[in-house]
Amino acid sequence: MNVINHELAKWIDQQHVFFVATAPLAAGGHVNCSPKGRDVFRVLGPHDVAYLDFTGSGAETIAHLKENGRIVFMFCAFDGPPKIVRLHGTGSVAEAGTVRYEELRPLFPQFAGPRAIITARITRVSDSCGYSVPRLAFVEERDTLERWSEKKGAEGLREYRRKKNASSIDGLPALSAET
């Protein structure tokens, strides 16, 4: 299957966490894998997805996408039947304040602290059994990042992003100075 059909989109929407992985082109560069939670992932069509990206301590995904576009998303069933799904594709970054960001922003709940929306064109969909993934009970969403963002405020977040999100740990450019 190389498309996200209705059944898969519904299953993806039920997952409480997903993982995003990217890598720079340089052989010595750092591969990045980031867990994501909250209601931030959207299936836009059979080959298109997006997620709301929050201000964070690094900007590896953004830097890698700007350099080479390669991205993979992984979803694991922690309850119900065992299942792992990977969505491979080519991603792009719509930074806050851009036209594309403003077009996509209404698809997501109002959270404090978003810095970009990551979109991807999916070229490969794969699933596997997930037999060794443990069963875990969902307790609740964490609101720590949102509370931190609210406390920082808009100008505090811009300053934080200028200091911490302008480049990756490998020195690749990430967020623009205006974001």
Question: Number of structural domains, the chain?
Answer: 1
Residues 7-62 have pLDDT tens digits of: 999 999 999 999 999 999 999 999 999 999 999 999 999 999 999 999 999 999 99
pLDDT for the residue 153: 97
Q: How many helices (H) and strands (E) does the chain have?
A: 4, 7
Tell me, yes or no, whether 105 lies in a domain. Answer: yes
Residue 174: inside a domain: no
In 3D space, the residue among 19, 11, 33 whose CA is nearest the CA of residue 77 turns out to be 11
* Angle, CA of 106, 112 and 52, to the nearest 5°: 50
pLDDT at 102: 98
Do residues 24 and 63 touch, judged by C-beta distance below 8 A? Answer: yes
Evaluate whether residue 69 is within a structural domain.
yes
From 168, 144, 177, select the one nearest 54 (Cα to Cα): 144
User: ∠ CA 18-135-144 to the nearest 5 degrees?
Assistant: 45
- pTM for the model stands at 0.96
- The Cα–Cα gap between 40 and 134 comes to 24
154 within some domain: yes
Cα 157 versus chain centre, distance = 19
User: Is residue 145 in a domain?
Assistant: yes
- Read off the pLDDT of residues 92-127 as tens digits, 9 standing for 90 and up: 999 999 999 999 999 999 999 999 999 999 999 999
Neighbours of 178 (CB within 10 A): 11
Q: Supply the CATH number for residue 97's domain.
A: 2.30.110.10
- Whether 170 is in a domain gets the answer no
Rounded (10°) CA dihedral 109, 115, 61, 6 = 20
Q: Is residue 177 part of a domain?
A: no
The whole domain housing 45 covers 6-130+140-164
- Which residues face 167 on adjacent strands? 173
d(CA 129, CA 84): 6
> Is 169 part of any domain?
no
